[in-house]
Structure 1
Amino acid sequence: MKKFRTMMLVCLSVMMLAGAQSAFATTGVYDGPATAKNSLPGNVYTGYIDSSTDSDWFVVANPNASGSVVVYPVLVCPSGVNLDIDVLWVHKDGTVDKDSYNQAGAGGIEGSSNIGWGVGPNDLLYFRVHGHSASDFSSSKSYTFIFN
């Protein structure tokens, strides 16, 4: 796990130096599927879950008629704040699959650079970042969400 965390921090540093995109989300911004931040593989986002009712939504879309877009979501939680990721996969036929990442704990890493999500033609993949409990939020400690 320590090796994985070190690898993720190195990747994050490289991506930030390379000019990866950043979005600072707060309450009222990206708070639902209709206002989700359009995201792409290779982007890095930072934000805050600044209240017990706040959550930030991200969406990966594949508007192509064929092929897949594969994303490997990784959430780096701030020290002392336990955040989770809910995943909603909306298929082109309207069916929805759900999953979540909620095991890392405060300061941990949710998701994996080894487990990818293939977004098929005309599918939508939503990610919701939120506090694990009513006390897991901070307006001064940011999370980092990486789409590899």
Structure 2
Amino acid sequence: MRKISNDMEEMCGILDLYMYEDLNYRMNTEFNIIKSQHEKTMLDMNKMIQSIIGSMQYSKELIEDNYSYSIKEDHLLHECTQLNKKVRILLNENRRLLVEQAGHKCPVGKKRGSLMRPARTSVSQVPRNSRCDHEIPQISDPDGSLHF
């Protein structure tokens, strides 16, 4: 019986050793797998963080560009308004000069057949459209008011 008992103890020791080594091997293997998955996850997270940082930097650049274009647009709108005012002034001056020029070139009266109006007719008595044979353009502002 002693021999059986010794054999049994020896078998239990071998079995314990085998189970311990198998458990240790499985734990090491599983640990390595988990460690590899963790490293992959951390690399993916670092890539995501770098991507977010890059996107934020790009967004910052776009915001700066947008601000720059906004300033340029404001400047150009101001310049455009000034140019529109200057054009309106020049058009009014041109209109005034055309009126003066038309007044110097056209006679006070129109020819009707071979007869002319008497020279004593004043400008205020001559209808507006009968002063000259050509029309003078009328210039209007964007608000619709006419300038003569």
Scaled to the shorter chain, the TM-score interval is: under 0.3
TM-score, normalization by structure 1 = 0.21
Structure 2 length normalisation: TM-score?
0.21
Q: Which has the higher helix share?
A: 2
> Which of the pair has more CA radius of gyration?
2
Instruction: Return the structure number with greater strand share.
Output: 1
